[in-house]
Amino acid sequence: MPSMGHLHQPRHHHQSGIHSHLDHSSPSQLNKTPSRLITTSSRITKPKTPSVIMHQQGHSITDGKPLVPPIDIWNADAEHDANAELLRNFEIKRNVFATLARSPGLFVPVMELLKALLSGDTRKIQILDYQLIVLRMASTVGAEYVFGINEPVSRFNGMGDDRIEALRKGLPAAELFAMGIWSERQQCLITLLDESLATWTNTPETIAWARRLMSDDEIVEVFIVLGFFSMVARMTIGLRVQEDPPIPDLEKHIAMRITKNKNAE
Protein backbone atom coordinates (compact mmCIF):
# COMPACT_ATOMS: atom_id res chain seq x y z
CA MET A 1 0.00 0.00 0.00
CA PRO A 2 2.86 2.39 -0.38
CA SER A 3 1.68 4.45 -3.30
CA MET A 4 -0.57 6.74 -1.29
CA GLY A 5 -1.19 10.22 -2.47
CA HIS A 6 -1.26 13.40 -0.43
CA LEU A 7 -4.40 13.45 1.69
CA HIS A 8 -5.71 16.94 2.38
CA GLN A 9 -7.45 17.35 5.71
CA PRO A 10 -10.86 19.06 5.46
CA ARG A 11 -10.75 22.07 7.76
CA HIS A 12 -14.10 21.39 9.37
CA HIS A 13 -13.19 17.86 10.51
CA HIS A 14 -11.21 17.41 13.69
CA GLN A 15 -8.94 14.71 12.34
CA SER A 16 -5.24 14.92 11.73
CA GLY A 17 -4.23 15.07 8.07
CA ILE A 18 -2.77 12.01 6.43
CA HIS A 19 0.25 12.73 4.27
CA SER A 20 2.34 10.05 2.62
CA HIS A 21 5.93 11.09 2.16
CA LEU A 22 7.32 9.37 -0.89
CA ASP A 23 10.70 9.98 -2.41
CA HIS A 24 13.06 8.33 -4.80
CA SER A 25 15.37 5.98 -2.99
CA SER A 26 18.60 4.87 -4.58
CA PRO A 27 18.93 1.09 -4.72
CA SER A 28 21.29 -0.38 -2.16
CA GLN A 29 24.34 -2.19 -3.40
CA LEU A 30 23.64 -5.82 -2.60
CA ASN A 31 26.53 -8.16 -1.98
CA LYS A 32 26.45 -11.72 -3.13
CA THR A 33 25.73 -14.12 -0.32
CA PRO A 34 28.58 -16.21 1.06
CA SER A 35 27.85 -19.88 0.50
CA ARG A 36 27.99 -20.60 4.22
CA LEU A 37 24.80 -18.61 4.73
CA ILE A 38 22.72 -20.92 2.58
CA THR A 39 22.47 -23.39 5.42
CA THR A 40 20.96 -20.87 7.84
CA SER A 41 17.45 -21.77 6.75
CA SER A 42 17.81 -25.09 8.55
CA ARG A 43 17.07 -23.22 11.75
CA ILE A 44 13.53 -22.44 10.61
CA THR A 45 10.80 -24.49 12.24
CA LYS A 46 8.69 -25.52 9.28
CA PRO A 47 4.93 -24.99 9.47
CA LYS A 48 2.72 -28.02 9.92
CA THR A 49 0.93 -27.19 6.67
CA PRO A 50 2.44 -25.87 3.45
CA SER A 51 2.62 -22.14 2.97
CA VAL A 52 -0.20 -20.69 0.89
CA ILE A 53 1.33 -19.22 -2.24
CA MET A 54 -0.42 -16.47 -4.17
CA HIS A 55 -1.15 -18.44 -7.32
CA GLN A 56 -2.84 -21.09 -5.17
CA GLN A 57 -5.23 -18.63 -3.54
CA GLY A 58 -8.83 -19.80 -3.62
CA HIS A 59 -10.37 -16.58 -4.93
CA SER A 60 -9.70 -13.92 -7.50
CA ILE A 61 -9.11 -10.27 -6.72
CA THR A 62 -10.62 -9.37 -10.08
CA ASP A 63 -13.99 -11.12 -9.90
CA GLY A 64 -15.77 -7.95 -8.77
CA LYS A 65 -17.24 -9.50 -5.64
CA PRO A 66 -15.88 -8.09 -2.37
CA LEU A 67 -17.54 -9.75 0.61
CA VAL A 68 -17.72 -6.38 2.37
CA PRO A 69 -17.84 -3.47 -0.06
CA PRO A 70 -15.66 -0.41 0.45
CA ILE A 71 -17.36 2.87 1.22
CA ASP A 72 -18.58 4.92 -1.71
CA ILE A 73 -16.35 7.96 -1.29
CA TRP A 74 -18.57 10.01 -3.61
CA ASN A 75 -21.84 9.15 -1.88
CA ALA A 76 -21.02 8.18 1.71
CA ASP A 77 -23.47 8.14 4.57
CA ALA A 78 -23.10 10.57 7.45
CA GLU A 79 -21.12 8.17 9.63
CA HIS A 80 -18.46 7.67 6.97
CA ASP A 81 -18.50 11.08 5.33
CA ALA A 82 -15.43 12.44 7.15
CA ASN A 83 -13.34 9.50 5.98
CA ALA A 84 -14.85 9.74 2.51
CA GLU A 85 -13.89 13.39 2.24
CA LEU A 86 -10.31 12.52 3.14
CA LEU A 87 -10.24 9.87 0.43
CA ARG A 88 -11.80 12.17 -2.14
CA ASN A 89 -8.71 14.33 -1.72
CA PHE A 90 -6.29 11.42 -2.11
CA GLU A 91 -4.24 11.59 -5.27
CA ILE A 92 -4.45 7.80 -5.52
CA LYS A 93 -7.66 5.86 -5.10
CA ARG A 94 -7.30 2.33 -3.73
CA ASN A 95 -9.99 -0.12 -2.68
CA VAL A 96 -8.02 -1.05 0.42
CA PHE A 97 -8.19 2.54 1.70
CA ALA A 98 -11.93 2.75 1.06
CA THR A 99 -12.37 -0.56 2.88
CA LEU A 100 -10.34 0.58 5.88
CA ALA A 101 -12.49 3.73 5.89
CA ARG A 102 -15.44 1.60 7.02
CA SER A 103 -14.06 2.06 10.54
CA PRO A 104 -15.22 5.61 11.33
CA GLY A 105 -12.87 6.09 14.27
CA LEU A 106 -9.87 3.87 13.52
CA PHE A 107 -9.30 4.79 9.88
CA VAL A 108 -7.26 7.94 10.53
CA PRO A 109 -5.00 6.38 13.22
CA VAL A 110 -4.35 3.39 10.96
CA MET A 111 -3.45 5.67 8.08
CA GLU A 112 -1.20 7.74 10.32
CA LEU A 113 0.76 4.57 11.13
CA LEU A 114 1.02 3.85 7.42
CA LYS A 115 2.26 7.40 6.90
CA ALA A 116 4.98 6.78 9.47
CA LEU A 117 6.00 3.52 7.80
CA LEU A 118 6.37 5.28 4.46
CA SER A 119 8.30 8.26 5.77
CA GLY A 120 12.07 8.25 6.04
CA ASP A 121 11.75 10.79 8.83
CA THR A 122 10.19 8.15 11.07
CA ARG A 123 11.24 4.78 9.63
CA LYS A 124 14.72 3.48 10.49
CA ILE A 125 14.89 0.36 8.32
CA GLN A 126 15.87 0.70 4.67
CA ILE A 127 13.16 1.00 2.03
CA LEU A 128 14.12 -2.33 0.45
CA ASP A 129 14.19 -4.05 3.87
CA TYR A 130 10.64 -2.81 4.38
CA GLN A 131 9.61 -3.99 0.92
CA LEU A 132 11.28 -7.38 1.39
CA ILE A 133 9.26 -7.86 4.57
CA VAL A 134 5.99 -7.01 2.82
CA LEU A 135 6.59 -9.07 -0.33
CA ARG A 136 7.80 -12.15 1.58
CA MET A 137 4.82 -12.01 3.92
CA ALA A 138 2.34 -11.40 1.09
CA SER A 139 3.56 -14.30 -1.04
CA THR A 140 3.65 -16.65 1.95
CA VAL A 141 0.05 -16.01 3.03
CA GLY A 142 -1.40 -15.57 -0.45
CA ALA A 143 -2.08 -11.82 -0.25
CA GLU A 144 -2.07 -11.12 -3.98
CA TYR A 145 -3.47 -7.62 -3.56
CA VAL A 146 -0.81 -6.58 -1.04
CA PHE A 147 1.96 -8.01 -3.22
CA GLY A 148 0.58 -6.26 -6.27
CA ILE A 149 0.48 -2.77 -4.81
CA ASN A 150 3.94 -3.07 -3.26
CA GLU A 151 5.70 -4.63 -6.24
CA PRO A 152 5.97 -1.32 -8.18
CA VAL A 153 7.61 0.36 -5.20
CA SER A 154 10.12 -2.48 -4.83
CA ARG A 155 10.91 -2.42 -8.53
CA PHE A 156 11.25 1.38 -8.63
CA ASN A 157 13.68 1.34 -5.72
CA GLY A 158 15.95 -1.24 -7.29
CA MET A 159 14.73 -4.69 -6.28
CA GLY A 160 15.50 -6.63 -9.44
CA ASP A 161 13.17 -8.88 -11.39
CA ASP A 162 15.00 -12.00 -10.19
CA ARG A 163 14.34 -11.18 -6.54
CA ILE A 164 10.75 -10.08 -7.12
CA GLU A 165 9.87 -13.20 -9.11
CA ALA A 166 11.52 -15.48 -6.55
CA LEU A 167 9.48 -13.82 -3.81
CA ARG A 168 6.31 -14.01 -5.91
CA LYS A 169 6.78 -17.77 -6.30
CA GLY A 170 7.17 -18.20 -2.56
CA LEU A 171 10.38 -20.19 -2.94
CA PRO A 172 11.64 -21.85 0.26
CA ALA A 173 14.43 -19.99 2.01
CA ALA A 174 17.05 -22.56 1.03
CA GLU A 175 16.21 -22.10 -2.66
CA LEU A 176 16.26 -18.32 -2.31
CA PHE A 177 19.66 -18.36 -0.63
CA ALA A 178 21.06 -20.78 -3.20
CA MET A 179 20.44 -18.12 -5.87
CA GLY A 180 23.46 -16.27 -4.49
CA ILE A 181 21.88 -12.82 -4.85
CA TRP A 182 20.66 -12.12 -1.32
CA SER A 183 22.87 -10.25 1.14
CA GLU A 184 23.42 -11.65 4.62
CA ARG A 185 21.08 -9.00 6.02
CA GLN A 186 18.37 -10.06 3.56
CA GLN A 187 18.88 -13.74 4.39
CA CYS A 188 18.52 -12.90 8.06
CA LEU A 189 15.30 -10.96 7.41
CA ILE A 190 13.84 -13.82 5.37
CA THR A 191 14.74 -16.32 8.09
CA LEU A 192 13.23 -14.14 10.80
CA LEU A 193 10.04 -13.62 8.76
CA ASP A 194 9.64 -17.28 7.86
CA GLU A 195 10.03 -18.34 11.47
CA SER A 196 7.55 -15.75 12.69
CA LEU A 197 4.94 -16.55 10.05
CA ALA A 198 5.26 -20.31 10.62
CA THR A 199 5.46 -20.41 14.40
CA TRP A 200 4.62 -16.93 15.78
CA THR A 201 7.99 -16.91 17.51
CA ASN A 202 11.71 -16.85 16.72
CA THR A 203 14.69 -18.82 17.89
CA PRO A 204 17.25 -17.06 20.07
CA GLU A 205 19.83 -17.85 17.39
CA THR A 206 17.88 -15.96 14.73
CA ILE A 207 17.44 -12.91 16.94
CA ALA A 208 21.14 -13.00 17.83
CA TRP A 209 21.93 -13.12 14.12
CA ALA A 210 19.64 -10.14 13.52
CA ARG A 211 21.28 -8.17 16.34
CA ARG A 212 24.64 -8.66 14.69
CA LEU A 213 23.36 -7.11 11.46
CA MET A 214 20.75 -4.61 12.67
CA SER A 215 20.16 -2.30 15.58
CA ASP A 216 17.63 -3.27 18.22
CA ASP A 217 15.44 -0.41 16.98
CA GLU A 218 15.46 -1.82 13.46
CA ILE A 219 14.56 -5.31 14.67
CA VAL A 220 11.51 -3.96 16.47
CA GLU A 221 10.52 -2.05 13.32
CA VAL A 222 10.69 -5.30 11.35
CA PHE A 223 7.92 -6.67 13.55
CA ILE A 224 5.92 -3.44 13.30
CA VAL A 225 6.02 -3.59 9.49
CA LEU A 226 5.23 -7.31 9.51
CA GLY A 227 2.31 -6.81 11.90
CA PHE A 228 0.79 -3.88 10.06
CA PHE A 229 0.88 -5.45 6.63
CA SER A 230 -0.22 -8.84 7.99
CA MET A 231 -3.33 -7.06 9.25
CA VAL A 232 -3.89 -5.54 5.83
CA ALA A 233 -3.25 -8.91 4.16
CA ARG A 234 -5.82 -10.66 6.35
CA MET A 235 -8.42 -8.04 5.48
CA THR A 236 -7.74 -8.04 1.74
CA ILE A 237 -7.90 -11.84 1.56
CA GLY A 238 -10.81 -12.35 3.95
CA LEU A 239 -12.99 -9.60 2.48
CA ARG A 240 -11.92 -10.20 -1.15
CA VAL A 241 -10.72 -6.63 -1.67
CA GLN A 242 -10.73 -6.13 -5.43
CA GLU A 243 -7.90 -5.08 -7.70
CA ASP A 244 -7.61 -1.34 -8.29
CA PRO A 245 -8.07 0.25 -11.71
CA PRO A 246 -4.83 1.44 -13.35
CA ILE A 247 -3.40 4.44 -11.52
CA PRO A 248 -2.11 7.25 -13.74
CA ASP A 249 1.45 8.46 -13.12
CA LEU A 250 2.06 5.80 -10.48
CA GLU A 251 5.85 5.96 -10.79
CA LYS A 252 5.75 9.73 -10.38
CA HIS A 253 3.80 9.36 -7.15
CA ILE A 254 6.22 6.70 -5.91
CA ALA A 255 9.20 8.90 -6.74
CA MET A 256 7.69 11.91 -5.03
CA ARG A 257 6.14 10.40 -1.94
CA ILE A 258 8.06 7.43 -0.54
CA THR A 259 11.04 8.80 1.33
CA LYS A 260 14.22 6.93 2.03
CA ASN A 261 15.30 6.88 5.64
CA LYS A 262 17.97 9.19 7.01
CA ASN A 263 20.57 6.43 7.31
CA ALA A 264 20.01 5.26 3.73
CA GLU A 265 22.86 3.18 2.37
Give pLDDT tens digits for 24-38.
Answer: 333 333 333 333 344
Beta bridge partners of 38: none
Give the pLDDT score at 259.
Answer: 72
Domain tally for the chain?
1
199 occurs within a structural domain: yes
262 occurs within a structural domain: no
190 occurs within a structural domain: yes
pLDDT band with cut points at 50, 70 and 90 for residue 1:
low
22 occurs within a structural domain: no
CB-CB neighbours of 60 under 10 Å: 12
Task: Report d(CA 91, CA 88) in Å as an integer.
Answer: 8
- List C-alpha distances in Å: 107 to 63, 101, 230: 26, 5, 16
77-100 mean pLDDT: 94
111 occurs within a structural domain: yes
pLDDT band with cut points at 50, 70 and 90 for residue 250:
confident
Q: What is the CATH number of the domain that holds 94?
A: 1.20.1290.10
226-239 mean pLDDT: 98
DSSP string, 81-128: HHHHHHHHT-SS--HHHHHHTTSTTTHHHHHHHHHHHH-TTT--S-HH
64 occurs within a structural domain: yes
141 occurs within a structural domain: yes
Domain range enclosing 169: 35-257
220-244 mean pLDDT: 97
15 occurs within a structural domain: no
Q: Is the pLDDT of residue 97 over 80?
A: yes
Give the pLDDT score at 4.
Answer: 45
Burial class (CB in 10 A: 0-12, 13-18, 19+), 184: middle
Query: Of 79-93, 120-134, 189-203, which one has max mean pLDDT?
Result: 189-203
User: Greater confidence, 77 or 93?
Assistant: 77
Give the pLDDT score at 84.
Answer: 97
Burial class (CB in 10 A: 0-12, 13-18, 19+), 137: buried
Whole-prediction pTM: 0.78
